[in-house]
Amino acid sequence: MSEVLSLAKSYEKYFKIGATVSAAHLDAHHDLILRHFSSLTAENEMKYALTEPKEGQFQFEKADAVVALAREMGVKMRAHAPVWHNQTGAWMYRDGEKPAAPELIYERIDAHSKALCERYRKDVYAWDVVNEAARDDAMDPLKSPGESPVYRNSEYYKLCGAGFIEAAFRSMDRYAPGVQLFYNDYSECVPEKRERIVRLIRNLQEKGCRIDGMGMQQHYFAAPDYDELKRSIETYAGLGLRIHVTELDISMTALMHPGAKRLRPGEAGFAEFIREAMRATPEKLDRISDIYVRLFEIYRSYADVIDCVTTWGVADDWTWLDTFGMDPNLPKIKQHPLLFDEQGQPKPCVYRIIDAAGR
């Protein structure tokens, strides 16, 4: 085991190591964050819903608290306040009694981008400009033949077509000239979805929009397909983009047999199924650790194009996976998807990942 226990320091020669924090949990792992991480993302505090709950009424207290931690760490932030179909006030899509015209939506995006960029000009090195705008077969299947096979049929898309993506990148380019601009998405290694993301990015590039990077979320609910991961990194890098891993975590369900039938909430037997699938045993925790070690091995092998690897959370005491996607009638099922345990202690894989970096 390594004596020098700092993930960020061990990985300086490869890429930054990032974590996502929320304003409510800033004190919980203060020393751990300072020691192990060299990039910071706000879990929710820089999103539209929190920074501009009503049009023109900006609230920055919570975002400021996260930014203050980044300053204390001496690092800059990945600003995750994207144009996204979630966590955005309904005001964005309305003009009084009418649906908002595209031009009005673009003006609103522009005003929002300006306000955030002015406030956090010195604190941000990368913006997630647009999040999850590509169609996803699992969460957003085609409902009618008239819908776009490439773009998610979000409120933004219904009102603006793909124009809102271009508008968001143009605004951010205007107000954040020296900062890297990212498109961010999940299931980014699934071939059909990857193809849509590629088309979305190419369309932006053909329109002359500046896009510098691809944010690969890397939430694992199924076993990683390591070959597709490599192919995806190469594909996105092949578009001339830098790569950030932006939201890495590994659910217990990633250990299920890849072909296993997944019951959904409401289906008979779901409660037993999900309890068993998500029950953390020492043997399963070891296998999650193995996945982390393998993923980092691959990330290191692409260090020429990867600039940052961020986990979605710091330690297992606070993770969105503890409540995500469960039937609300089920008891909370504790997940252990991160690199640090509930007490903030490094898991065995942290030592292995650090050791491997030295080789």
Contact footprint for ligand GLA (CB under 6 A): 80, 131, 186, 217, 247, 320
Q: Which of 43, 45, 132, 166 is catalytic?
A: 132
* Closest distance of CB 89 from ligand GLA, Å: 16
Q: Which ranges of the chain does DSSP label H, i.e. alpha helix? A: 7-10, 30-36, 48-51, 61-73, 102-120, 155-160, 163-175, 191-206, 226-238, 270-277, 282-301, 348-358
**Contact (Cβ atoms closer than 8 angstroms) between residue 113 and residue 167:** no
Closer Cβ to ligand GLA, 123 or 247, answer by number = 247
Dist CA 195 CA 318 (whole Å):
33
Dist CA 184 CA 81 (whole Å):
11
185 three-state secondary structure: strand
* Closest distance of CB 247 from ligand GLA, Å: 5
Q: Is 276 considered catalytic here?
A: no
In this structure, the chain runs to a length of: 359
In this structure, what are the phi and psi dihedrals at residue 212, rounded to the nearest 5 degrees?
A: -105, -25
* Closest distance of CB 324 from ligand GLA, Å: 7
Closer Cβ to ligand GLA, 37 or 320, answer by number = 320
**Residue 24 burial (CB count, 10 A):** 13
* Closest distance of CB 131 from ligand GLA, Å: 5
Closer Cβ to ligand GLA, 80 or 193, answer by number = 80
**Contact (Cβ atoms closer than 8 angstroms) between residue 7 and residue 353:** yes
Closer Cβ to ligand GLA, 151 or 320, answer by number = 320
Specify the DSSP element, H or E, that contains 78.
strand 77-79
* Closest distance of CB 313 from ligand GLA, Å: 9
- Contacts of 142-151 with C-beta under 8 Å, sequence gap 24+, read 149/196, 150/196, 150/199, 150/200, 151/196, 151/200
Closer Cβ to ligand GLA, 173 or 249, answer by number = 249
Find tokens 């031009």 and name the residue.
Answer: 103
Q: Which of 247, 267, 283, 297 is catalytic?
A: 247
CA atoms lying within 13 Å on the CB side of residue 156: 27
* Closest distance of CB 80 from ligand GLA, Å: 6
Closer Cβ to ligand GLA, 40 or 100, answer by number = 40
Dist CA 216 CA 246 (whole Å):
6
Q: Is 132 considered catalytic here?
A: yes
CA angle in degrees (0–180, nearest 5) for 89-93-97 = 110
Q: Which residues are catalytic?
A: 132, 247
